[in-house]
Amino acid sequence: MSFVVLSAIIAANSLFSTYINCRQYQKLGEKMPETAIKIYTQETWSRSVQYSKEKLIFHTLSEIVDSCKDILHLLYLEPWHLFFARRFTNPAVPFVFSYLITNQIFKIPFSAFSDFVIERRYGFNKKTLKVFVTDIFIMFLLTLCIGWPFLFTSFHIISKFSNFEIFLGGFIVVFQLFMMWIYPVVIAPLYNKFTPLEDQSLKKNVEELAAKVGFKVGKIEVMDGSKRSGHSNAYFVGFGRTKKIVFYNTILEQLNESETIAVLAHELGHWHYSHIIQLLIVGWAETFGYIFAFKMFVAEKSSQTIAISLLKFIFAASSVSVPLMLLTHSINRMFEKQADRFAVDQGYGNELKAALLKLHTENMAMPVVDWLYSAVGYSHPHVFERLEFIDQAMKKKE
């Protein structure tokens, strides 16, 4: 595929992204809707709108610059590969690895501006310069320790087997499961400190809810999310003995006990309906689809051609990223509604509504969204949609 065609694909994706961001920016300029009047004061609405606008402008500019960077990558792809071919017997791994590292380095100034200018201006960024630099060091270390072996094994499979797609797909599936197992045990503690939940009343309620729905808890921990940000979250992670429930310390400060349990009930709804497993299967199907498409994309079966073709394929495959994203997001939204209904069935409808409102306003999430921007960029329904759905679920339960 030629440089012109691939550049056109990159430019088209950038233009489409800019278009939907402009739609969202225009949406943010509208008057406060009636659904928001009971939630926001004029001051909090204006502040949330301004925060959302600043992030949107910065995100749009970042995407445009990133697209220009990708086109430059394409322009110098051949001489860049030749540089590694002259220094390595098998240049595929260092060539692709250098692309990953270059991308990470490129994003550093954008991350710094986002954290230390925009997020700090609105009171969310808690990172010190030391934490920021340490995070970068850890990121590069993990890329080296995990990314290099992954690339080496992948290229070895491609070179060794004529019908490599099944073997490569199987390796990626096993690798992903391994990462899911190792993340809470090894990787997450590199970034954050995890301590046992000390609030005995909350711990008791967590254990009672988990027992009620049949969820076997390994650990209940609090993560020092405030080390980096004022944003909040709760989740469960891992499987088997490594499975644990994690609360950001910020969410425990923002929500009362019953609201926290309601959020947990929602998360356990994802477990109850096997949403994670279903999303994994969807992801694996996409992975195998990409691998089969890549095999057709490869012109010759040599390490040099494969390495160059891989990066070209990544850029070409971005042409189908939006349809796939729409599909994935529609599935995610359906799952979010199921999880909300599960929380309602456990008797936490009102508490979940209160929690969602607090989290939405405290985190200054987008106060209003354009339908196209939401469809492409949001894996969750907007808070107003969720509140309406929860009300309907509560009425049906009655």
Q: Catalytic: 340?
A: yes
Closest Cα partner for 268 from 224, 234, 221? 234
Q: Which of 267, 286, 362, 391 is flagged as catalytic?
A: 267
Q: Catalytic: 267?
A: yes
The angle that helices 303-317 and 77-85 make with each other, rounded to 10 degrees, is 150
Closest Cα partner for 125 from 116, 133, 134? 116
Q: Which of 119, 221, 340, 370 is flagged as catalytic?
A: 340
- Tokens representing 52 are 């959302």
- Long-range contacts at 274-282 (CB < 8 A, ≥ 24 apart): 275/335, 275/338, 275/339, 278/331, 278/335, 279/328, 279/331, 279/332, 279/335, 280/176, 282/328, 282/331
Residues with catalytic function: 267, 340
